[in-house]
């Protein structure tokens, strides 16, 4: 097998192609088809007996997601430490990729009668996706020179966006016109629901098959050293070092605090948006499935415009000021969401989510990079940023699930999250004043 040198176009394109392979998972499974399917199989009573406890269906899936991200908070530093100091990068990336794709295919057998089985594979698919990304991202400096990294990273994102939307549209056609694909109902399972189950299989196969192209070209780095205790826990050591450095960089520390607070609400609302639409909106007969998927497509498309618009606004008014505005808009959007009931109102909400989602995510990351001290070890700081984001998801999902479980309504949880955006805006305003004083 030919070994391609760093900077080679074939190697760079093969690396970027993994975005094409894996981006179908977060769009089709995390965001679009699976939440609709989960709502369908659990909506008969909306309360489920699981492990001896009675859970509201949406609260249960948020708790499982929180546990998955809690697990990821622990293993991400371990994985980054292994990736930095061993030559097993490709091996580990394959393991998580193949585990995730097989677990996604296994969601075909997820139904209310084997809930534990289904949630287990939902958990494994999530771990597979996020785990593989640790090694995928760490390959970038190995395969691309510094002047190539921005462009090839952007190419990967764009390929992932295009591929995932392509498969989602195909799945949408499958669900709405199952006869065109020869998909028939089986027993009590109607044809559209069977099409959703088959869509899980298409995601797993897509992820697995297209990743093979990436793995064919990616080099297996030369083995640097064996895995030992020092290497295994090096990621945690780096996080501790970053925490110590933050004490002497008050602006960066203050920004991270604000980011952490508003991320509790931001990431949670994004993850539960489809579940909210599935359960809380009064859809016309036969409109729900198509309406929800169309809403996801609206969010995806408008998010691009939102990211571009926020970049332009930040050029004129500055990053912090723009983030304050975005947090205030998010707070108003959550308040609006509490009162949304009709499908048309939900489409409007989806458009607004896309507009502010693309902006705040892109600007949060770039603002963080601007606050970083002069150092060659930016990887450690971004690892800290990544862990902070995952911890915020854990807290957000637990809070959301608890409020949903106790009050019996996702609306109350959405309304409660306005507080985090308001506090985030306040902390950013205070940071802006400190910087100008």
d(CA 112, CA 108): 12
d(CA 39, CA 273): 13
> What does the pLDDT read at residue 420?
93
**342: which DSSP letter?**
B
Residues 156, 210 contacting (CB under 8 angstroms) = no
d(CA 377, CA 358): 27
Q: What is the pTM of this model?
A: 0.80
DSSP secondary structure string, 260-282? HHHHHHHHHHHHHHHHHHHHHSB
> What does the pLDDT read at residue 375?
59
Residues 231, 86 contacting (CB under 8 angstroms) = yes
Q: Is the dihedral of CA 75, 139, 29, 350 positive or negative?
A: positive
Element (H, E) at 142: helix 140-143
DSSP secondary structure string, 40-68? HHHTTTSEEEETTEEEEHHHHHHHHHHHH
CATH of 1-232, picked from 3.30.70.260, 3.40.50.720, 3.40.710.10, 1.20.1250.20, is: 1.20.1250.20
> What does the pLDDT read at residue 280?
86
Q: Which residues of 133-154 are buried (b: 16+ CB within 10 A; e: fewer)?
A: bbbbbbbbeebbeeeeeeebbe
> What does the pLDDT read at residue 232?
65
Tracing tokens 């499958």 back to the chain, one arrives at: 174
Radius of gyration, alpha carbons of the chain: 22
**190: which DSSP letter?**
-
Tracing tokens 């809930």 back to the chain, one arrives at: 115
Neighbours of 412 (CB within 10 A): 14
Tracing tokens 């007996």 back to the chain, one arrives at: 49
DSSP secondary structure string, 403-431? HHHHHS-HHHHHHHTHHHHHHHHHHHHHH
Tracing tokens 């603002």 back to the chain, one arrives at: 367
Element (H, E) at 351: helix 343-371
Range 235-437: architecture per CATH = Up-down Bundle (1.20)
Residues 6+ away with beta carbon under 8 Å from 172: 290, 293, 294
Tracing tokens 């591929």 back to the chain, one arrives at: 163
d(CA 391, CA 241): 18
pLDDT by residue for the chain (437 residues), tens digit each? Answer: 567 677 678 888 888 889 899 989 988 898 888 988 988 888 766 788 887 788 888 888 889 988 998 998 888 777 766 766 666 778 888 999 999 999 999 999 998 888 888 999 999 999 999 888 877 877 776 777 767 765 676 677 678 778 888 898 899 899 888 999 888 888 778 888 999 999 999 999 999 999 999 999 888 766 666 666 666 677 777 778 778 887 888 888 888 899 999 999 988 888 888 888 888 888 888 788 888 888 888 887 787 777 778 778 887 888 888 899 999 999 999 999 899 889 889 899 888 888 887 778 777 766 777 777 765 555 667 677 778 888 888 899 899 889 988 988 889 989 999 999 999 999 999 988 888 76
> What does the pLDDT read at residue 212?
95
Tracing tokens 């249960």 back to the chain, one arrives at: 60
Residues 6+ away with beta carbon under 8 Å from 269: 330, 334, 353, 414, 417
Residues 6+ away with beta carbon under 8 Å from 187: none
Q: Where in the chain is the domain with CATH 1.20.1250.20?
A: 1-232, 235-437
Q: Which two tokens stand for residue 419?
A: 């507080």
């Amino acid at each position: 097998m030919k070994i391609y040198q760093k900077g080679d176009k074939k190697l760079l394109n093969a690396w970027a192609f993994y975005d094409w392979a894996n981006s179908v998972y977060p769009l089709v499974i995390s965001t679009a088809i699976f939440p609709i399917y989960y709502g369908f199989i659990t909506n008969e009573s909306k309360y489920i007996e699981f492990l001896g406890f009675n859970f509201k269906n949406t609260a249960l899936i948020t708790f499982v997601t929180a546990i998955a991200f809690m697990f990821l908070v622990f293993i991400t530093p371990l994985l980054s430490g292994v990736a930095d100091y061993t030559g097993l990068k490709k091996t580990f990336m394959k393991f998580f990729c193949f585990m995730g794709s097989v677990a996604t295919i296994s969601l075909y057998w997820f139904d209310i009668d084997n809930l534990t089985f289904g949630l287990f594979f939902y958990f494994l698919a999530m771990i597979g996706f996020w785990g593989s990304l640790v090694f995928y991202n760490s390959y970038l400096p190995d395969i691309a020179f510094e002047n190539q990294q921005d462009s090839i990273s952007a190419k990967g994102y764009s390929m992932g966006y295009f591929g995932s939307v392509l498969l989602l549209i195909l799945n949408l056609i499958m669900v709405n016109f199952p006869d065109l694909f020869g998909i028939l109902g089986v027993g009590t399972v109607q044809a559209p629901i069977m099409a959703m189950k088959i869509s899980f299989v298409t995601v797993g196969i897509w992820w697995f098959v297209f990743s093979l192209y990436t793995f064919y070209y990616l080099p297996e780095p030369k083995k640097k050293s064996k895995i030992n205790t020092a290497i295994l826990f090096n990621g945690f050591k780096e996080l501790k070092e970053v925490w110590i450095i933050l004490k002497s960089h008050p602006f960066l520390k203050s920004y991270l605090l604000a980011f952490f607070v508003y991320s509790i609400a931001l990431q949670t609302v994004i993850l539960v948006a489809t579940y909210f639409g599935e359960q809380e909106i009064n859809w016309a007969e036969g409109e729900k499935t198509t309406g929800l998927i169309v809403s996801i497509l609206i969010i995806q498309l408008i998010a691009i415009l939102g990211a571009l618009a926020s970049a332009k606004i930040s050029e004129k008014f500055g990053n912090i000021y723009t983030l304050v505005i975005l947090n205030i808009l998010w707070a108003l959007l959550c308040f609006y969401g509490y009162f949304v009931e009709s499908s048309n109102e939900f489409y409007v909400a989806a458009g607004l989510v896309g507009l502010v989602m693309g902006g705040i995510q892109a600007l949060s990351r770039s603002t963080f990079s601007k606050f970083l001290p002069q150092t060659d070890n930016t990887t450690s700081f971004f690892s800290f940023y990544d862990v902070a984001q995952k911890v915020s998801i854990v807290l957000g999902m637990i809070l959301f699930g608890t409020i949903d479980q106790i009050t019996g309504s996702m609306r109350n949880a959405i309304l409660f999250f306005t507080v985090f955006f308001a506090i985030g805006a306040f902390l950013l305003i205070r940071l802006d004043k400190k910087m100008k004083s």
